[in-house]
Amino acid sequence: MSQAKGLNLTLKIWRQQNAKSKGKIETYQIENISPDSSFLEMLDILNTELIDKGEIPVEFDHDCREGICGSCSLYINGEPHGPGKRITTCQLHMRSFKDGDTIYIEPWRAAAFPIVKDLIVDRSAFDRIQHAGGYISVNTSGNTVDANATPIDKHDADEAFNSATCIGCGACVAACKNASASLFVSAKISQYALLPQGQVEAKDRVLNMVKQAEKEGFGPCSNTGACEVECPKGISLENIARMNREFLAASIS
Ligand code: SF4
Ligand code: FES
């Protein structure tokens, strides 16, 4: 069986020493990349070549490499997570590119996600938003109520589950012209707003999480829906509508 022809590519990669230094695009040539390689494997190959030449490898974030952790935040050819729908960068394969292509690889661009080095950004702003209200209080002192003892409407359970699939990758922020975190924040609010277990802190949750997002420097919702288009988990704009309803109700009660 004949093997698929390897790809010869030009890579234009954002290099930046640290948060304070000025970055710039550097050009690299890479040859004979298997179309079956993942995008991150292609970067691994590039880094091996750079190390062999005594050059500094390109820093990029990754962990699970199976679309779960949300850390592989790369802006590829002007699109968060590159071409392809409902996938993260680690799920992108080189067969999405053609021999001779030039590929631009940049970090997320948002003031609330400062660049740490090269392609790595600091997404701890998302953690602080979560800490502001993304939790429920459950008695774990030995008197814990069995979760199945509380009946939940199937539709609500399914919707809450869909919202909970947000992996906190930040592609929604990178896609938004206002660098808004509305889709992320609304997913984290919705997963509890739809469940009885989330009602105790509901009012404080929406007020505190929205306030924290503003404090972190994320912009207002642009109403363009770019976030939903680029979200690898298909988080729906309906979450933002739900967050706005929750916020209004909490503000006037
Ligand atoms: S809403 Fe989608 S794009 Fe935004 S952080 Fe969650 S999974 Fe990523
Ligand atoms: S490395 Fe975990 S989602 Fe891509």
Rounded to an integer, what distance in angstroms lies between the CA atom of residue 73 and that of residue 115? Answer: 11
| Band of pLDDT at residue 3, cut at 50, 70 and 90 | low
Single-letter amino acid, residue 233: K
Residues 6+ apart with CB under 8 A from 154: none
The predicted model gives 221-241 an average pLDDT of 97
Question: What does the alpha-carbon distance between residue 188 and residue 108 come to, in Å, rounded to a whole number?
Answer: 21
Q: How far is the CA of 246 from the centre of ligand 2 (A)?
A: 31
Cα 99 to averaged position of ligand 1 atoms, centre (Å): 31
pLDDT by residue (tens digit) across 103-125? 999 999 999 999 999 999 999 99
Ligand 2 mutation target, pool 60, 68, 108, most atoms within 8 A of CB: 68
Ligand 2 atom nearest the C-alpha of 62 is 1
pLDDT digits (tens, 9 = 90+) for 28-73: 999 999 999 999 999 999 999 999 999 999 999 999 999 999 999 9
Q: Which residues contact 98 (CB under 8 A, 6 or more apart)?
A: 7
- In this structure, the strands spanning 102-106 and 75-76 are antiparallel
Ligand 2 in reach of 71 Cβ (< 6 A) = yes
61 alpha carbon, closest ligand: 2
pLDDT of residue 137: 85
- Confidence class of residue 141 from pLDDT cuts 50, 70 and 90? confident
Task: Return the CATH number of the domain spanning residue range 7-117.
Answer: 3.10.20.30
Average pLDDT for the chain: 95
* DSSP track, 57-96: PPP---SSSSSSS-----EETTEET-SSSS--GGG-BGGG
Task: Give the binding-site residues of ligand 1, using a 6 Å CB cut-off.
Answer: 166-172, 183-184, 187, 231-233, 235
Task: In whole angstroms, give the CA distance from residue 173 to residue 122.
Answer: 13
Cα maximum dimension of the chain: 69
- pLDDT > 60? residue 2: no
CB 88 near ligand 2, within 6 Å: yes
Q: What is the pLDDT of residue 124?
A: 98
Ligand 2 pocket, residue 166 CB under 6 Å: no
Q: For CATH 3.10.20.30, list the domain ranges present in the chain.
A: 7-117
Q: Which CATH class is domain 123-139+147-252?
A: mainly alpha
User: Is pLDDT above 80 for 1?
Assistant: no
Domain with CATH 1.10.1060.10 in the chain: 123-139+147-252
Q: Is 45 exposed, middle or buried (0-12, 13-18, 19+ CB in 10 A)?
A: middle
